[in-house]
Structure 1
Amino acid sequence: MQFRDIVGQQAIKQRLLATVRENRVSHAQLFLGPEGSGSLPLAIAYAQYVSCEDQQPEDSCGVCASCRKYQKLVHPDLHFSYPFFARHKDDTALSFIEQWREALTAQPYLSMDIWRSYLEADNKQANINIAECHQIIKKLSLKPFESAYKILILWLPEYLDKEGNTLLKLIEEPQPNTLFLLVAQNQEQILNTILSRTQLIKIPALTYEEVKAELIKRGQTEPAAAETAYLSSGNLTEALQLLHQQDGKGYHQPFINWLRNCVVNKVPDIMSGFVEQIAKAGRENQKNFLRYGISYLRECCLLLAGAEELVHLPAAELETAKKLTAFINLPMAEAISAVLEKAHYHIERNANPKILFLDVSLQIVKILHFKMLPAGTQYI
């Protein structure tokens, strides 16, 4: 993994490069960023750069023996630790290293849900157990084999329970030329004793434009990339998953048509048309449709609040949103959003989609008509 392979995050890349050039490499660093921001690829690219035999000004060379081994995730001085679903009490991350390499090679922007699909999770809870902590101590007590540094990348330290305290002395006083790179998503779930011993590197979510550009680069049409980037809210992992789940028609027009029928109170059309179609769409598409509606109404709320400069909608969707805000007010938008959020919650728990979406439709009709639409309304 090289820095050039990572989407956006230019400021973070320059900061990491500077620490190596200026010989300010901290022995324990915490890469903290939301899912899909690229925190894990950044940690791997940083480790590769540190170990590169021919470091370039802006990236690792990519061709030396060290870089070739890093690209295959088989370098003897690169170690990984991560949550797993232990089958036996003495299982460690090494028990699942082949699945890890396969998952990480297929999707560097890895999420816990994707990682789970590579393992036999059953009903087990993922964690980093005491056996893994002891294995980490054992591995890092040895000197580097080939490179100047021995590096451990610990993905999701949030899954370290009190067993994580076993690592404190090693993190605080490691062997010479040993690097701990922790990659986390939720600072509040990390042991404070570990937090206090690491240098924090905050990684922001990707921008709408960065996600959109990456999706177009991967062969998506501009309309599909724009809608998916908008729906993913800066999470590239989610954006890539959404592309596989969509049926190619998008969510904007079906959502607007649904609202139109609710505005004019066409309950028969809602029952025979929209409800029947959405019930056949599958649970993931139903969830994404609702999430699109929630996000779209959030942008409408920004328009209603006079903050148009903060709205990031494709041109056609922005035009429709402006028409929508001509007759819907802020309390209405907030009320409909709340209904959609509740529906999303129930879809996740396998609610009957026909009953659910009919009920949601009737609630939206009630909100739109009992909140009193302005006289002379021009429907969208």
Structure 2
Amino acid sequence: MNFEFFSPVSDLILAHNELLSSQALGKKIKIHSSQNGFPELEGVDIAIFGVLENRNDVNYIGESFDLNEIRKTFYSLYPGSWNTQLADLGDIEKGETVEDTYFALKSTVASLIKQNIIPIIIGGTQDLTYANYRAYDNIMPMVNIVNVDCKFDLGDSTKPMKNDSFVGKIILDEPYNLFNYATVGYQTYFNSQEEKDLMESLYFESYRLGSVSKDIALVEPAMRDANIVSVDLNAVMGSELSLKQKFSPNGLDGKEICAIARYAGISNKVSSFGIYEYKPSKDDEMTSMLVSQMLWYFIEGVNCRVNDDDFSDENSYQKFITLVDSQELVFYKSNKTGRWWIEIPFLAEVNNKLKRHTLLPCMHQDYIDACSNIVPDRWYKAFQKNCV
């Protein structure tokens, strides 16, 4: 791993850290400092770092930012009953060009994943998700992304990439590694009809804000199937955030965004997590505290991971078979956690990369719907993608 990409955590924050209780998180993290250098990654489970890149913001006017307030609040929290070792690697500074920053982020994420370390990226603009995605090119054949956002961020892929149009590049740039893309918490009036139609035609998933707020558990199966989770802070309602961060009066509230972060952590598949579009302001305690609590809940989730998806042992699960429109649907329920999966049938004549996607996470409600002759939406979309 190239340590030269990183600048250390500021001495001001480290001085503040010295005043904290010995039980605080800041005293239990390996920290990249100018005095002690880059931390030893042996035994580290989760690595947090910032990426100070915001030049692809559609509203960029040359401003810079730092993550000092987030670190200050995060270090002051107390850990749960955790058995994970955390490290704060410092920040990836802006490169000569945005592409240089992408390269630094891509190679860092790839290196960490290969060491079985989960990277948590705190970023400027959300187009950094593209570099995060590209880190998987030589790691796995197909990648699932969940974007917690009020917009789909598809954009016009013929134009240069911006923070509101990076998904179009992910879909169209080679190598084509994207299997599923899901948007959680989208708000209809922020998205054009063309984008909604494109999401439908590609059989991608989208969860409206109203549906998510009504039943937050809807998000869990999508998170359980994700490799990358990317959170846009603009998905959070303005009243939960500080002055400069406010975007919309409607959005996810603090409890909902923390529950979503915990679902991402609990997922056995999620191997990188990013929080983007952070904008510090002078009255910033609110946003930095919310981001710190999201980080806390993600780490809490990682500590609660359970291997419940090994279906080689017949005593570890229950199997249910039901007919929907003459299509046999096979469900599995883990005896350990009570979580549900549905089988996607193989199409032998189709040459695809889907060989490991035989089981799709779902909800108990999907089984109930199937018993009432209703085809589960997640199953239908995955089946259609399998046919393409």
How would you bin the TM-score normalised by the shorter chain?
under 0.3
- Which of these two proteins has the greater Rg computed from alpha carbons? 1
Q: 1 or 2, which has the higher strand percentage?
A: 2
TM-score by length of 2: 0.26
Higher relative contact order (CA 8 A, sep 6+): 1
